[in-house]
Amino acid sequence: MKADDRETRVAAILELLEHARGSDYIGEGVSQLEHALQAASLARAAGAPDSEILAALLHDVGHLCAGPDAPSMDGLGVVRHESIGAAYLESLGMDPRIAELVRGHVDAKRYLVGADPRYAARLSDASRETLRHQGGAMSDREQRAFEALPRHRALLRVRCWDEAAKEPGRSVEPLAAYASLLRDHLRAR
């Protein structure tokens, strides 16, 4: 990938996220950008590999790139945002492993709710409501299929960072701190 093309792609991602600075994150008390930065910060603090840090940062990008006419979950975000976001990242040349984690973060929530009723009780009101639109708890059969995925543990980590990234006022690195990580990732592609 040429440097100019890489810079254009990095700029597009950063601009999309920056535009979300004032966007409500489905009633969670943080903006879409704050949520993304908190998730990425939690991944970094956990010593996660770069692919998981980027997946944490970008897991909800489908809410941002879908467009104003995208079907909504009763005002709680975009229907199938995980697939929309994964396709968007693939179109930019992001690693398929990152797209896979973005695509699977909703299924990870469904898995955790089905596997552990205590997890469901800890979900925020908005997350419980979106779960209704996302298929609800996984059945035993779906859980076994999820557990058979080669990267199911990574999916669960991204999901846990996602759920924890809703704290108003949490101090995190700014968006610019992830520009070089995005650049390096696209350079390696």
Summarize the confidence of residues 1-7 as an average pLDDT: 78
Domain ranges for the chain, please list them. Answer: 3-188
The CATH label, of 1.10.3210.10, 3.40.50.410, 1.10.8.60, 3.10.129.10, for the domain at 3-188 is: 1.10.3210.10
Render pLDDT for 35-58 as a digit per residue (tens, 0 to 9).
999 999 999 999 999 999 999 999
Contacts of residues 151-155 at CB distance under 8 Å and 24 or more positions apart, as own/partner, are 151/97, 151/100, 151/101, 151/104, 152/108, 152/111, 154/52, 154/55, 154/101, 155/101, 155/104, 155/105, 155/107, 155/108, 155/111
Q: Could you say which DSSP state residue 137 is in?
A: S
Render pLDDT for 10-30 as a digit per residue (tens, 0 to 9).
999 999 999 888 776 777 788
Measured distance between the N- and C-terminal CA atoms of the chain, rounded to whole angstroms: 7
> Does the pLDDT of residue 1 top 70, yes or no?
no
CA torsion, ordered 136, 126, 86, 14, to nearest 10 deg = -170
